[in-house]
């Protein structure tokens, strides 16, 4: 599994930087955002260092499918109300123009009662 020794998310996965864990398995890690926009705001990342959605190829399909299938379960676990009254937002910023700040593929799961600080 590849990692970038200078990547903050790789350091979080390795336990070198503390985080508030939401979920972990062999390939995926989820943790609370340190600057949440909403009552529920966590990040879902692959443990493997993938720089962005632009760097995804067919070899990542199974891992991405597992990540997406975890989103509703983890959103409910963390306090998002059920669909259709509740719900959540799933965001993946890609590249500088897309607003990506950390160059490690990640999905923001954002939800909870409105109004939110952003969005």
Integer Cα distance of 22 and 24 in angstroms = 7
As given in the structure block, the two tokens for residue 91 are 């965001």
116 within some domain? no
Higher-pLDDT residue of 113 and 79 is: 79
User: Regarding predicted confidence, which is higher, 119 or 50?
Assistant: 50
Count how many domains the chain has: 1
> Which CATH number covers residue 72?
3.30.428.10
CA-CA distance, 24 to 20, in Å (whole number)? 11
Judged against a pLDDT cut of 80, whether residue 119 lies above it is answered with: no
Q: What angle (nearest 5°) sits at the alpha carbon of residue 49, between those of residues 55 and 42? A: 100
pLDDT of residue 1: 65
* pLDDT tens column, 2-32: 889 999 999 999 999 999 999 999 999 999 9
Instruction: Tell me the torsion sign for CA atoms 107, 112, 113, 117.
Output: negative
In a domain, residue 47? The reply is: yes
Domain that holds residue 19: 8-111
Q: Give the active site residues.
A: 106
């Amino acid at each position: 599994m590849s990692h970038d020794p200078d990547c903050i998310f790789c350091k979080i996965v390795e336990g070198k930087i503390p985080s508030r864990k939401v979920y972990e398995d062999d390939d995926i890690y989820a943790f609370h955002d340190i600057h949440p926009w909403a009552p529920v705001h966590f990040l879902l990342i692959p443990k493997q260092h993938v720089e962005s959605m632009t760097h995804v190829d067919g070899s990542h399909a199974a891992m991405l499918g597992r990540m997406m299938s975890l989103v509703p379960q983890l959103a409910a676990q963390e306090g998002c109300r059920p669909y259709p009254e509740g719900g959540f937002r799933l965001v993946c910023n890609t590249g500088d123009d897309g607003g990506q700040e950390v160059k490690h593929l990640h999905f923001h799961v954002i939800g909870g009662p409105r109004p939110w600080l952003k969005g």
